[in-house]
Structure 1
């Protein structure tokens, strides 16, 4: 297939690009190269004849029309989004513009292209979203595809809106869509403002390791390369108009995952004191959801997909990747907001 991947220079998008190329697909990577994007993420495939990069913004309808007309993709995988909750608290406008308005322009460009091509049955618009649109769970229960939406942050509200737009374009115009909602991703190339890379890099630098509140918030962690595999599976096998929740089957409290990373570093780069001694509990961010948990039954039973990387294995691989790729993360240290507490409200 020829895939148009939006946000393909970002964390999850670049994993999709690399894996799609490895599977023999042709990829057009459309990215605006905002602060969290990095072309080094796709350097391993940049010279592949099956790869093309388009520097464009999903809010630019003229650019989208040109890209569709030029490359004639068989499918769209829409990953471009503002995604950091803390940033959405301090500056929600960018999230509205990119996640809602940008998705609208992409849907309209895709619909115009699909209509001009006589509505080919093979075409797919795959919208990639988050479990955060479902809100916050208590100590029990899991999110299913039928869980009512209950977003609690500007980020999750903007993603919920984009999900609804995609579903509406399917119901109203017949645009052939599939949709996925994933749990927290981690792994190589994770931009160093998110929890796991912050823990690794602060620990190595001898800095405080900040943990919100008492670290009791629970997340389901999904290794990014597993996620990329799941996304390509849904694109090719998922039923039209259907959504699929993708989870890692790894529910852990934030403070526990921080301690797991510290223990790995104690083994790999031992020092006189333990890395966990650097943990500092900080004021919680506003509207911090207590718990997310994914019920992955649908994707497992209908498409035969389950995660292959355990949390312990994935964390070891992730820590080692950051130890081996200092040039990559050093180059990002001066970007806006990296290493600083944001989202204070």
Structure 2
């Protein structure tokens, strides 16, 4: 064997991303746009002011930052928005990021979507290595859907789910529990999802951003929802985890899996392994805090990859122990930014 035949030495693995409380960050949620084609009442103001293009990261910048996280040990990337599929050229970003799936550096590339454009993109997502998607859907009643989304068409979302399943994608339905709107419908929504072979996750309304109504009027504790479900279903605890905050049970009567995300009634911060990158390049290490690290400024100042990674490490090291969410009448939102700005 000549020296030229010898295997190349492996580059030493970068130290893991560990925050100041010993939690390893392995999950990055990447918002690609603050724009959305719906206006869900708990998520956005009716008349939103969207960001000017110059403030939004280019797709190449998003790829660079996300890829830096992958080299630092992030194993899961979730693309979010706003609505990610309204971003022009977003499939190019999926194509570029899919190289990390092929190399084995990344375990999963996925997205959260409202489903309105999923019919158009499902086949390409599957081709590029996406294996599952989350679809936000709070009701199966067309009129209520139109009301909650301020004009949305439920049929487009159902068609998107059909296309995703047809492309072989695993689909999970995310529903925000709303006391006055969909509380009575939640069992039917869960049963519908399980009947189609879909998972379902219920989410407590979170106090993010100023909107037109008082969230205390709509807040519904998932502890109460679970108690109601257990009056007619058998819910069996499971150890299933997807890298996010949901805790899962199996509904024995439907045979399906049901998740609960409970930031208000049960703090899940002790095992938090994720951070969020907004479409402007701001890194939030906690959804429920106004902490922020400006990675856009770092890369647009000409920083090399080493400087970018150092900035990421500093931001992760400052990750707080827990969030500031609370639901109380007249209380200001925990953070001023909207969920659509932060990233799904």
Q: Structures share a fold, TM > 0.5?
A: no
Normalised to the residue count of structure 1, the TM-score between the two structures is 0.33
| Higher relative contact order structure (alpha carbons within 8 Å, sequence separation ≥ 6) | 2
Normalised to the residue count of structure 2, the TM-score between the two structures is 0.33
